[in-house]
Amino acid sequence: MTAWSTREVAELAGTTVNTIRHYHRLGLLEEPERRYNGYKQYGVRDLVRLLRIRRLAELGVPLSRIADVSQGGDAAPETLRELDVELAATIQRIQQARADIAVILSKNAPADAPAGFAAVASHLSEPDSSIIHVYSRLYDEDAMDDLRHMVEVDVEAGEASGEIDALSPDADEETRSRLAARLAPTITQNLIDYPWLTDPLRRASKNRYRARQTFVAAAEELYNPAQLDVFTRAGKIALENLRAAGSESD
């Protein structure tokens, strides 16, 4: 009868001695008989069992479920259907990652640019890029699509973002007022195009209180007082513009 050592059967199966020992500990592979010198001796049946285990592992069957799948019955097709769903999701993630990498390379964008924003990432300041990362954990996918479109339009229009990025914390009143006035038309148009911005928390993907708390903390940490003041002023002007437009339409 042909007999192989642990190392030999491991080589035949394309695995390692430690893996075989792990299978023994899990009870997936029975301990073989031992030679007179105490060394294990594996036969053809052991090799075939090992190859079957390896095949199921290659398919992605968790080691904890291999024993059930090997026994047949309903366990095998049920497990394989679950694996197929997981593999489909994995393939989708990989395809999206490849698409993202292609855009990052073509646009020479930072590798850690917010998902979906690689095309405009080089135009974003560090605070803006950071806040978008935070937004991606607070808002649903549709809201993030809208935000991406807003950023693309702003970049194309070359708005006052550069001046705001360079705004010092102690900027004077005239500078703040001027920048707020320049930024207000863009915010006004965004509020018209995306009405949910008047109550952004309704598009939160998480608890509204937690979303608001996180948003406020991120804004205060990432932007200086003068920048926050400009955003607040511009927002108020935009809301006044909306109300005025509504009154005229009436």
User: What would the DSSP string read from start to end of 167-199?
Assistant: --TT--HHHHHHHHHHHHHHHHHHHHH-GGGGS
Tokens of 193: 């195009």
| Residues of the chain where predicted confidence (pLDDT) is lower than 70 | 1, 157-160, 247-250
Distance separating alpha carbons of residues 157 and 250, to the nearest angstrom: 31
Kindly tell me the sign of the dihedral angle through the C-alpha atoms of 192, 195, 199, 204: negative
pLDDT for position 158:
64
pLDDT for position 12:
96
pLDDT in tens, 83-107: 999 999 999 999 999 999 999 999 8
pLDDT for position 128:
92
pLDDT for position 1:
63
Which of 145, 104, 155 has its CA nearest to residue 125?
155
pLDDT for position 70:
86
Contacts of 131 (CB under 8 A, 6+ apart): 218, 219, 222
